[in-house]
């Protein structure tokens, strides 16, 4: 081996805390260099461009390597499974170290891409610095070096921090000190390890903010959280997240209502059983959606001694029954069919209502987060939205404007819901362009009540898509304006708008979908 030792004998630095060592720059044959099995960077990537640079300019930066095991004492420790600091060797490292023990070879710590590029370039010897590092220091060094890469994904960062914490026993503060990341960043990355790692790895190449990841933890059901994670970084994520949180809140309300009803002495029954009119008669219903002892007690007033039965439906409405005094007789097949159709229509309307409420919250939150800098770049688009508002004769939704501007309901009540423009500027600290966006959007008349479907109970098309509705035309204008401002519609929103959504009611006589606008 041509070592060509360069006179850099005394390169002593960062590892002296571990007892100190002597490093030297040598040229090592490429066939005696092996990648570290625990290198955090699992994908080396395309090294062809780097190989061309090496051919033209040589290797500009040396590799850092360690000698493979050459003593019986080190070999015995390897077989025991722990290094001198009590850190457990990985199975991959044990296999690697055993296969190269007692031979004149080296394991790369820093420079894996340069090693692969040098092979591609046909280089036979590579400049290396031989360092004395124990196993834990090798891992820490590779991780720290990898964490400096600008192309490292959030997933890869999380895996590095996790390995430093679990395998090396480092505290969050110690990891921050070693890597140069803030303690808060380390803590947030480590929290990612609670998510489905396969899904996280698949989505990690997308442009994702940590705020989006933080929102995921509000979804308590792991399966639903994983479904939302799969959409993170896409136009569908906000909608998927909103649906998950909406469903989660509904389940909590349902359980709260059940608890209140049971505590009141009522007996829970299934919906299907309650619909047997020969046994049960409907007594009352509560449609507030918000679990309230006061609301329930008000309905129960004067019913002492009456045995009551209840169920809470999927929209958090409470339905209460009593025993029927007179048998209503058996229903005909036609009656049962009409009731089933009525139920299907009611469910369609309820599901559509929830979907359009989600869509509205996405539109509102997009505008609310719109800053003055973005607004300045889209003045003409904002004014175009204003022209559309005039075309639809929309009047400003004052409360929408006030809430966008930062007012709470309490503050509005204090001011009798009539703050002056000076009040608004004082509260919001918003720029003129940002306030213009708020004003124009509030003038568009966007509300949760815009639905392009029939909802009159006497209309046979109840719950079906209405391609001619004024609401649809206004919603289309709103979406067109928002898209010009940078809004991305989710797949659900597109389907709701063009009538292809499965949420619209369709009976046997109407299975076709009308064309959207």
The per-residue pLDDT string of the chain (517 residues; one tens digit each, 9 = 90 and over) reads 333 333 333 333 433 333 344 456 899 999 999 999 988 777 788 899 999 999 999 998 899 999 999 888 888 888 888 887 778 888 899 999 999 999 899 999 999 999 999 999 999 999 999 998 888 888 888 888 877 776 777 888 888 888 888 877 888 998 888 777 889 989 999 999 889 989 998 998 888 888 899 999 999 999 999 999 999 999 999 999 999 999 999 999 999 999 999 999 999 999 989 888 888 999 999 987 789 999 999 999 988 889 999 999 988 999 999 998 766 566 778 877 887 888 888 889 999 999 999 999 999 999 998 988 889 999 999 988 888 888 887 777 777 877 777 766 666 666 565 666 666 656 556 677 888 898 899 889 899 989 999 887 677 788 999 999 999 999 999 999 999 999 999 999 999 999 999 999 886 555 444 443 3
Q: Pick from 159, 206, 167, 211: which is nearest to 186 by CA?
A: 159
3-state secondary structure at position 254: helix
Q: Are 120 and 48 a contacting pair, CB within 8 Å? A: yes
| 33 contacts 106 by C-beta, under 8 angstroms | yes
- The CATH code for residues 16-139 is 3.90.1530.10
Specify whether the CB–CB gap between 328 and 278 falls below 8 A: yes
Distance from the Cα of residue 243 to its chain's centroid: 12
Q: According to the model, what pLDDT value does residue 105 have?
A: 94
Round to whole Å and give the CA distance between 317 and 298.
16
Q: Has this prediction a pTM greater than 0.75?
A: no
Supply φ then ψ for residue 326, to 5 degrees.
Answer: -130, 140
Q: Across the beta sheet with 33-34, what order do the strands follow?
A: 24-29, 125-130, 63-67, 106-110, 33-34
- If you search the block for the tokens 């009352």, which residue do you land on? 284
For the chain, state the CA radius of gyration.
Answer: 33
pLDDT of res. 261 = 96
Rounded CA-CA distance 6/26 in Å is 7
User: Residue ranges of the domains in the chain?
Assistant: 16-139, 153-234, 248-330, 342-498
In this structure, the strands spanning 280-286 and 318-323 are: antiparallel
- Given the DSSP bridges, would you call strands 308-312 and 318-323 parallel, antiparallel or unpaired? antiparallel
Predicted confidence at residue 420, as pLDDT, reads 65
Token pair 């990891």 in the structure block, residue:
175
Return the pLDDT at 83: 80
- Bridge partners, residue 294, by sequence: none
**CA atoms within 13 A of residue 404's CA, in its CB half-sphere:** 27
How many Cβ atoms sit within 10 Å of the Cβ of residue 119?
16
Residue matched to tokens 């009976």 = 507
Distance in angstroms (rounded) separating the CA atoms of residues 162 and 201: 14
Cβ-Cβ contacts under 8 Å for 370 (sequence gap 6 or more): 434, 437, 485
Query: Rounded to whole angstroms, what are the CA distances from 300 to 152, 294, 297, 378, 454?
Result: 61, 10, 5, 56, 35
Residue pair 68/100 in contact by the 8 Å Cβ criterion: yes
> Which residues, 6+ apart, have CB-to-CB distance to 230 below 8 Å?
199, 202, 203
Q: What is the pLDDT of residue 462?
A: 86
């Amino acid at each position: 081996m041509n070592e060509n030792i360069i006179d850099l004998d005394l390169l002593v630095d960062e590892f002296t805390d571990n007892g100190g060592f002597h490093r030297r720059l040598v040229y090592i044959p490429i066939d005696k260099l092996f990648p570290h099995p625990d290198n955090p960077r699992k994908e080396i990537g395309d090294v062809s461009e780097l190989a061309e640079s090496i051919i033209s300019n040589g290797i500009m930066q040396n590799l850092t390597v360690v000698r493979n095991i050459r003593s019986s004492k080190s070999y015995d420790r390897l077989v025991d499974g722990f290094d001198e600091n009590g850190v457990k060797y990985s199975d991959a490292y044990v296999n690697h170290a055993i296969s190269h023990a007692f031979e004149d070879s080296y394991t790369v710590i820093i420079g894996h891409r340069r090693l692969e590029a040098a092979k591609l370039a046909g280089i036979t010897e590579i400049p290396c610095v031989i360092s004395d590092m124990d196993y834990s220091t090798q891992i820490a060094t590779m991780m720290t070096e990898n964490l400096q890469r600008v192309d490292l994904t959030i997933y890869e960062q999380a895996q590095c921090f996790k390995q430093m914490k679990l395998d090396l026993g480092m505290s969050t503060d110690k990891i921050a000190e070693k890597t140069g990341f803030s303690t808060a960043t380390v803590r947030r990355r480590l929290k990612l390890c609670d998510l489905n790692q396969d899904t996280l790895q698949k989505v990690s190449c997308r442009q994702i903010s940590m705020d989006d990841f933080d929102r995921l933890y509000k979804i308590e059901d792991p399966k639903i959280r994983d479904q939302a994670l799969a959409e993170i970084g896409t136009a569908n994520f906000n909608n998927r997240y909103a649906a998950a949180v909406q469903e989660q809140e509904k389940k909590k309300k349902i359980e709260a209502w059940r608890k209140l009803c049971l505590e009141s002495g009522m007996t829970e029954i299934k919906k299907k059983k309650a619909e047997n009119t020969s046994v049960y008669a409907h007594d009352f219903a509560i449609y507030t959606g918000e679990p309230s002892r006061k609301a329930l007690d008000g309905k129960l007033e004067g019913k002492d001694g009456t045995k009551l039965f209840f169920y809470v439906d999927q929209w958090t409405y409470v339905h209460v029954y009593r025993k029927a005094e007179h048998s209503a007789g058996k229903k005909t097949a036609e009656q049962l069919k009409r009731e089933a159709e009525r139920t299907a229509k009611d469910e369609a309307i309820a599901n559509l209502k929830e979907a359009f409420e989600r869509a509205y919250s996405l539109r509102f939150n997009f505008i609310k987060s719109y800053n003055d800098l973005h607004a300045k770049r889209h003045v003409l688009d904002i004014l175009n939205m204003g022209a559309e508002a005039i075309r639809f004769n929309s009047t400003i939704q004052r409360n929408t404007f006030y809430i966008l501007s930062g007012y709470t309901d309490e503050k509005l009540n204090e001011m009798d819901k009539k703050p002056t423009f000076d009040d608004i500027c004082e509260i919001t600290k918003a720029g003129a362009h940002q306030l213009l966006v708020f004003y124009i959007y509030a003038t568009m008349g966007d509300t949760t009540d815009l639905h392009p479907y029939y909802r009159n109970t006497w209309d046979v098309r109840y719950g079906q898509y209405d391609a001619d509705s004024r609401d649809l035309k206004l919603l289309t204008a709103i979406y067109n304006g928002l898209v010009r401002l940078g809004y991305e519609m989710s797949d659900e929103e597109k389907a709701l708008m063009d009538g292809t959504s499965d949420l619209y009611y369709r009976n046997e006589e109407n299975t076709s979908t009308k064309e959207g606008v």
